[in-house]
Amino acid sequence: MRYRYFPGCTLKGQAKSMEDTAMAAAAALGIELIELDEWQCCGAVYPLYEDELISLLSPVRTLAAAAGEPLVSLCSACHHVLKRAQELMQRNQDARHKVTDFLEVEYSGEGRVLHFLEVLRDDLGFDKLTEMIKKPLEGRKVAAYYGCLLLRPSKVMQFDDPENPTIMEDLLKTLGAEVVKSPYRTECCGAYLSVTEEGVASDTVARIIDSARQAGAEALITACPLCRYNLENCSREDGKEPIKVYYFSELLAEAMGLPGESTGADGSKEEVAQR
């Protein structure tokens, strides 16, 4: 199984542990992730106005660089931007001509654009993954937190059921964890509002964490560095037991018995979120 890999900027910075653990797991699973030779930031948010072509240059350049090979990313935001940019290139001929002419590349929307979770589910298969689990996460009560970018808009992302997704729970089950289903697992964490409107993000995060805690979770997994940052840094002090937040790949590597340690979304070695 051979894929081109787009890391994105956060995975070389604050979210290095997501990359390290995912790469280790991929190698052990025989999934070859070949990093693109030259890449630049995807832009982090997909431009929602169709004349914002300048913001498409970077993702389209990345898509073209994959040269038709399946393109994998780990960060939800990168995957979201790449997948939607690809959909626009398929759908809007005018935008495609303008962007590819400017970049002087040939690209017309070809190639699979995948999140690493999809590779595990669809290409490898969770059945196959089960065989590779050496240290199952027995007794660990873990809830999945999906957030927005993997799921919506579902017509484009085609990742999972947008309201009742199962892919992360299925992964957790495979890893041997005790799966906890939290009702707020697809609600937004506040995204970039933590930069300008921290109070708003605190409200959304409080709901997500309370809901997970009520459901009995001791830890959450996510595939998005910003979600993790918000969940760890925007929650209010409430005197309750803090909840751990992991990248999905960290628990994957752990269950596979691979070395690696969890770091906070800010790169610090704090194991437990400050609550």
Partner 1 sequence: MPRIGIFICHCGSNIAGTVDIEKSIEAARGFPGVVHVDEYRYLCSELGQDLIKKAIEEHNLDRVVVGTCSPRMHEVTFRKAVTEAGLNPYLLEVANIREHCSWVHKDIEKATPKAIALLRAAAAKAALNDPLVAPSVEVEKRALVIGGGIAGIQAALDIAEAGYIVDVVEREPSIGGRMAQLEKTFPTLDCSACILTPKMVEVAQHPNVSLLTYSEVEEVKGFVGQFDVKIKQKARYVDPVKCTGCGICYEKCPAKTPSEFEMGLAKRKAIYVPFPQAVPNIPVIDRDACLYFRKGRCQICAQECPPQAIDYEQQDQIIERRYGAIIVATGFDQMNPSHYGEYGYGQHPDILTGLEFERLFNASGPTGGKVVRLSDGKPPKKVVFIQCVGSRDKARGMNYCSKICCMYTAKQAILLKEKVPDAKSYVFYIDVRTAGKGYEEFQRRAAEEYDVAYLRGQVGKIFPESDHLMVHGVDSLSGKTIEIKADMVVLAVASVARADAPEVGRLVGINSDSYNFFNEAHPKLKPVETHTAGIFIAGACQAPKDIPETVAQASAAAVKVVGLLSKDMLQGEACTAEVNQAECSGCLYCEAVCPYSAISPVEIEERYHGGTLKRTVVEVNPTLCHGCGSCTVVCRSGTINLKGFSNEQILAEVDAICLQR
Partner 2 sequence: MIIATGKSSLIDEMKVQSGQNPAECYQCAKCSAACPVTAAMDLLPHQVIRYLQLGLEEDLLKSKTPWICASCFTCAARCPRDLDLARMMEGIRLSMLRRREGNKFGPADLTPEQLEKLPQQALVSGFRKYNK
Q: How many CB atoms lie within 10 A of CB 270?
A: 13
Choose, by CB under 8 A, the member of 38, 94, 163, 241 that binds partner 1. 163
* Residue indicated by tokens 């990742």: 159
Q: How many CB atoms lie within 10 A of CB 25?
A: 25
Indicate which of partner 1, partner 2, none lies near residue 199 (CB less than 5 to 8 Å, by partner kind).
partner 2
Residue among 148, 131, 120 nearest 21 (CA)? 120
**Rounded to an integer, what distance in angstroms lies between the CA atom of residue 251 and that of residue 56?**
33
Q: Which of residues 173-192 bind partner 1 (CB under 8 A)?
A: 183-184
User: Strands (DSSP E) along 173-213, which ranges?
Assistant: 178-180
**Rounded to an integer, what distance in angstroms lies between the CA atom of residue 6 and that of residue 29?**
19
Indicate which of partner 2, partner 1, none lies near residue 10 (CB less than 5 to 8 Å, by partner kind).
partner 2
Which of 110, 266 has the CB closer to partner 2?
A: 266
**Residue 94 binds partner 2, judged by CB under 8 A:** no
Cis check: omega of the bond before 59, within 30 degrees of 0: no
Q: Which of residues 67-86 bind partner 2 (CB under 8 A)?
A: 75, 77
Element spanning 73, H or E: strand 71-73
Give the total residue count for the chain. 275
To partner 1, the closest distance from the beta carbon of 203 in angstroms equals 12
**Residue 166 binds partner 1, judged by CB under 8 A:** no
**Residue 203 binds partner 2, judged by CB under 8 A:** yes
The footprint of partner 2 (CB under 8 A) covers 8-10, 13-15, 41, 43-45, 47-52, 55, 75, 77, 147-148, 151-154, 162-163, 187-188, 190-197, 199-200, 203-204, 207, 224-226, 228-229, 233, 265-266
